[in-house]
Amino acid sequence: MFNHIVKRIVISIPVLIGITVILFIMLNVIPGDPVALMMKEHVSPDVIARVNAQMHLDDPAVVRYFRFIIAAVQGDFGVSYKLNRPVTSLILQAFPNTLILAFAAAVFSWCIGIPAGILSAVRQYSFIDNLFMGFSLLGVSMPVFWSALLMQYVLALKLHWLPVSGFYGFKYVIMPAIVLGWSSAGIIARMTRSSLLEVMRNDYIRTARAKGLREIPVIIGHALKNSLLPVVTIMAIQVASLLSGAVITESIFGVPGVGRIAVNAIQSRDMPLLQGSILFACVLVIIGNLVADILYSFLDPRIRHEMQEK
């Protein structure tokens, strides 16, 4: 198991390096001078050139890239151009808000998606199956910004059940968590349904039924555990993407999280802050994939046995 984890971490290093190269190239081809944007108008070219030299922005791209990588490995993503604060502290300050929102959205998606997928599989082609799959398809297909604005209009402005935006307590988490978790719940529901239907066609399920076991123990005790492997993968990746910052949701609901930091950095062309937030999100996605691989070994003894042999 330990060797497998180390191997996965080693494999992730080239992926992370490739991400940093692509990220650095993309951010440096964006038109506009960050110093000119930072110092606003009526600034002489001499002042802009002097500030560029002081901030080492006029160095060759290769030098600036390796300087960024060496600092990032040490946990230093630079200083924000606009806020004049360390990027690492800004991300760590905003991450707890994203963590709360992501946890609430993940719990909502799991509590809705897995039971809906199980009921749809058990009652295949019934009214319940069509209803749940219809809602899941709607959640997957509807854009996040549209469902967010629709819920704000209905639940906040018309019914006055929940606040429109902000992040000051439990009530402020409910609506963005539902919006963020609806799409994930739809994906989990459809994946659980298809995986469970495939497992229920296996011979050992028919054998368990032939022995006289009731349907619920057969589904929960035999079929469900073996059908959760692809679902766990989706869940782990979704959690990683939620933790990396839901840009649209945090922007619409005014949640001061990592996603909103990235949006503000784009608007102000704050390169250190944008680089740090995107790289932080990529690391979380890689960790999510690693967690999914580890959970695989606990859910499927065959995978754990293969790891031990290797």
Tokens of 225: 């555990």
Which range (14-28, 39-53, 266-280) has the least confidence? 39-53
Q: What mean pLDDT do residues 113-142 have?
A: 89
Nearest to 103 by CA among 157, 191, 180, 4: 180
Residue 33's pLDDT is 66
Higher pLDDT, 208 or 153: 153
Nearest to 234 by CA among 272, 279, 291: 291
Percent of the chain at pLDDT above 90? 15
- pLDDT range class, residue 107, cuts 50, 70, 90: very high
Residue 64's pLDDT is 85
User: How far is Cα 296 from Cα 283, in angstroms, rounded to an integer?
Assistant: 20
Spatial neighbors of 28 by CB under 8 A, at least 6 apart, are: 61
Q: What mean pLDDT do residues 61-86 have?
A: 85
Residue 205's pLDDT is 78
Nearest to 231 by CA among 114, 119, 125, 128: 114
User: How far is Cα 184 from Cα 242, in angstroms, rounded to an integer?
Assistant: 10
Angle between helices 87-122 and 171-199 (to 10 degrees): 50
Residue 304's pLDDT is 56
- pLDDT range class, residue 37, cuts 50, 70, 90: low
Which range (58-67, 106-115, 116-125) has the least confidence? 58-67
Higher pLDDT, 246 or 17: 17
Residue 44's pLDDT is 74
Give the CA angle between residues 79, 85, 86 to the nearest 5°. Answer: 55
Which range (34-48, 128-142, 204-218, 250-264) has the least confidence? 34-48
Domains recognised in the chain with CATH numbers: 91-309 (1.10.3720.10)
Q: Which residue has the tokens 């799409």?
A: 183
Which range (8-17, 70-79, 202-211, 251-260) has the least confidence? 202-211
Q: What mean pLDDT do residues 124-149 have?
A: 88
Rounded to the nearest integer, the mean pLDDT of the chain is 82
Do 87 and 80 touch, CB atoms closer than 8 A?
Answer: yes
Q: How far apart are the first and last CA of the chain?
A: 9
Q: What mean pLDDT do residues 273-300 have?
A: 79
Residue 90's pLDDT is 92
- Residues 149-167 have pLDDT tens digits of 999 999 999 999 999 988 8
Q: What mean pLDDT do residues 168-172 have?
A: 88
H-only helix segments in the chain: 2-28, 34-38, 45-54, 61-73, 87-122, 127-141, 144-151, 171-199, 203-210, 215-217, 224-243, 247-253, 258-268, 271-299, 301-309
pLDDT surpassing 90 at residue 175: yes
- Residues 232-286 have pLDDT tens digits of 778 877 887 787 667 888 888 988 988 888 888 888 778 888 888 888 888 888 8
The type of residue at 165 is S
Residue 174's pLDDT is 92
